[in-house]
Amino acid sequence: MIKINMYLMLCGIIGLVVSFGCSDDDGENRNKTALVAPTLNNATDISANSFTVTWEAVDGANGYLIDVATDQRFGQMVEPYNSWRQNAISLKVENLDPSTDYYVRVRAMMGMEVSGNSNVISLTTLEEVDTEPEEPLKSAATTFSVGVALSADRISSGSHAKLYEREFNQVTAEWEMKMNITYPRPGEFDFSKADKIVDYAIANDMGIHGHALIWHNAVPSWVESFSGTNEEFEAMIKDYITTVVTRYKGKVKSWDVVNEAFEDNSGELRNSVFRRKMGDDYIAKCHQWVRDADPEVKIFYNDYSMTFDKKKQQSTFNMADDFKSRGVPLDGLGFQMHISYNWPNTNDIEAAVQKVIDRGLLLHFSELDVRVNPDNGISSLTPQRAIEQQKKVEEVVRIYNAIPQANKFALTVWGLKDDESWILYFWDNPDWPLLFNADFSPKEAHTGFLQGLKD
Ligand code: G3I
């Protein structure tokens, strides 16, 4: 009997050892998984044929299983994303159909163990982008010129010239017709770059918009530190304006005579060297000298923030009204339109445009670019942000295309392709503000321009 008891006790001890020995450190039952399910983030970079999904790493996991389906019950799985195994905590899901609903879930793995399913996220892929070669902008815009800012160097490059000539019928010198370039030293003009641009435009039957005779940001140092009297300064500026406008008379059909004369937010006249030495009425004097040199040329005043800086806007319209009452030449206003994909709002743009129309002036959307990364929230041009930029360009073009013919002049984009935009070095963060990619291929924004022209 004792032997049996001893045997039973020994089994019990072994049983205890076996059961303790098999339990986890914390006494948990081994059959229950130690792995928690991942937490899925919303999909990003959604395009017509792909999206990216990410999730938080799970402690202890050394792999993940991803399911993608076209139904919430995961009955129609999308191959190969049926228990797709990987280690990374993000996945770009590709080769999808446009305009289609997709559902995603993920499980964590640790060796043979698999967690439960994550939360399910859903998304709809974007509509298919037309891949046909698009109509050139200048062909589609039948009631106004489509301009582009360019430089003498860039017109020498085949790829640039090919697109300039295909898409645009007007040009603006981005910097090479400004005073700091054309009048670098006292009495010494340098028209080499300006002539190259003007000759190129004429050879390719493109209009030329002159930009900009007087701008506080493009003043040669010798002018900024002019040592003569104010009367001598004014005579020098009159001679400069007369020389340049006369040189391009009959070629340059319009000029931004004075650029950005009013302060931001206050609408006060900037205290530029021109104002200091020629007085508050310097703009009128410059306009008159241009008119005296060329009776036909269109005279524009050009500025930025014109659709939302109400003080600057009011100062500009007060000046336009004053010029009209005094017979000072002014044919049009340039709204530069350096905007963002989400701002300014449509109503502000339309209200400002209407004030130009009410005054019977020409309107030039003179320097359009559309920042897609004003908050530095993206590190590449995501498909969603490209579509939002497309919609903003479409909106701006639609507004411009709808103005009366009597007020139409041109819509100019401030550069050809993203990597050449001034915005990249003016702001610290990456951006893609123009109509063409760095590789010269058209973006959705180019499509948006064409869509804005359709009734
Ligand atoms: O390409 C040359 C390079 O070869 C040279 O080594 C370098 C150093 O001198 O200059 C380079 O050219 C610069 C050019 O931008 C290209 O980066 C010019 O110096 C520089 O002055 C020029 O800046 C232009 C700026 O106006 C000043 O003229 C920008 O391109 C142009 O986008 C910007 O445009 C203004 C409008 O005229 C008015 N509205 C605002 C708009 C943006 O600031």
Q: Is the CB of 178 under 6 A from ligand 1?
A: yes
Structure tokens at 7: 């045997």
pLDDT at 145: 98
Expressed in angstroms and rounded, the spacing between residue 422 Cα and the centre of ligand 1 is 7
Mutate to test the pocket of ligand 1, among 150, 172, 175, 418 (most ligand atoms within 8 A of CB): 175
Helix (H, G, I), strand (E, B) or coil at 441: coil
Of 216, 147, 153, 226, residue with least CA distance to 179: 216
Expressed in angstroms and rounded, the spacing between residue 437 Cα and the centre of ligand 1 is 20
Q: Is the CB of 294 under 6 A from ligand 1?
A: no
CB 276 within 8 A of CB 270: no
Q: Given a cut of 90, is residue 326 above it in pLDDT?
A: yes
Structure tokens at 438: 């760095």
Structure tokens at 308: 């939302």
pLDDT at 347: 97
Chain segment 349-376, per-residue pLDDT in tens: 999 999 999 999 999 999 999 999 999 9
Q: Is the CB of 74 under 6 A from ligand 1?
A: no
Helix (H, G, I), strand (E, B) or coil at 98: coil
pLDDT at 131: 61
Expressed in angstroms and rounded, the spacing between residue 1 Cα and the centre of ligand 1 is 105
Q: At what angle do helices 346-358 and 383-401 cross, to 10 degrees?
A: 20
Q: Is the CB of 421 under 6 A from ligand 1?
A: no
Q: How far apart are alpha carbons 397 and 377 in whole angstroms? A: 26
Mean pLDDT of the 213-228 span: 98
Helix (H, G, I), strand (E, B) or coil at 246: helix
Confirm whether 165 is a catalytic residue.
no
Q: Given a cut of 70, is residue 129 above it in pLDDT?
A: no
pLDDT at 348: 97
Where helices occur in 402-443 by DSSP H, the ranges are: 422-426
Confirm whether 234 is a catalytic residue.
no
pLDDT at 15: 42
CB 323 within 8 A of CB 330: yes
Q: Which residues fall within 8 angstroms of residue 384, CB to CB, at 6 or more apart?
A: 44, 45, 46, 126
Expressed in angstroms and rounded, the spacing between residue 54 Cα and the centre of ligand 1 is 41
Q: At what angle do helices 383-401 and 444-452 cross, to 10 degrees?
A: 20
Q: How many residues does the chain have?
A: 455
User: Could you tell me how far CA 224 lies from the centroid of its own chain?
Assistant: 33
- Residue 187 one-letter amino acid: G
Q: What percent of the chain has pLDDT over 70?
A: 92
Q: Is the CB of 218 under 6 A from ligand 1?
A: yes
